[in-house]
């Protein structure tokens, strides 16, 4: 089996799925279908995700299983999160931390923090 192509090998444009066929009854369905965001990951990245999930997100276990260091595991996670659009922007983290600090210091109340 080959991994489904998500980009055109000629022009590198985005490919659309337009036809599906059942192997059992030969039913053909034509429409415009979407790819899973996981299709953007390489085979190596998908393997990493599988190991990460099998290890229930325990980075120490991932390190042992793959024989890589903690910074390498974090780097791979960051890369995959960026590809999948799951990376939390630093600005958002800093903004949330500032709100929490203001709440903790009594500069704002809980209602104001929720609104922010």
Beta pairing partners, 17 = 33
Which pLDDT does position 98 carry in this prediction?
81
Which helix (H) or strand (E) segment holds residue 33: the answer is strand 28-33
Residue 92 pLDDT > 70: no
pLDDT in tens, 95-115: 777 888 888 888 888 888 888
CA–CA–CA angle 10, 45, 32 (5° rounding):
50
pLDDT in tens, 44-84: 999 999 999 999 999 999 999 999 999 999 999 999 999 99
Flag whether the pTM goes above 0.75: no
């Amino acid at each position: 089996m080959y991994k489904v192509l998500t980009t055109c090998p000629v022009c590198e444009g985005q490919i659309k799925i337009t036809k599906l066929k059942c192997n059992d009854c030969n039913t053909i369905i034509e429409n415009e279908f979407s790819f899973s965001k996981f299709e953007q990951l390489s085979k190596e990245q998908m393997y990493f995700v599988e190991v990460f999930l099998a290890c229930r997100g325990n980075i120490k276990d991932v390190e042992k299983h793959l024989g890589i260091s903690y910074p390498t595991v974090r780097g791979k996670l960051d890369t995959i999160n960026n590809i999948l659009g799951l990376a939390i922007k630093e600005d958002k983290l800093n903004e949330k931390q500032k709100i929490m600090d203001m709440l903790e210091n009594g500069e704002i109340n809980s209602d104001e923090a929720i609104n922010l």
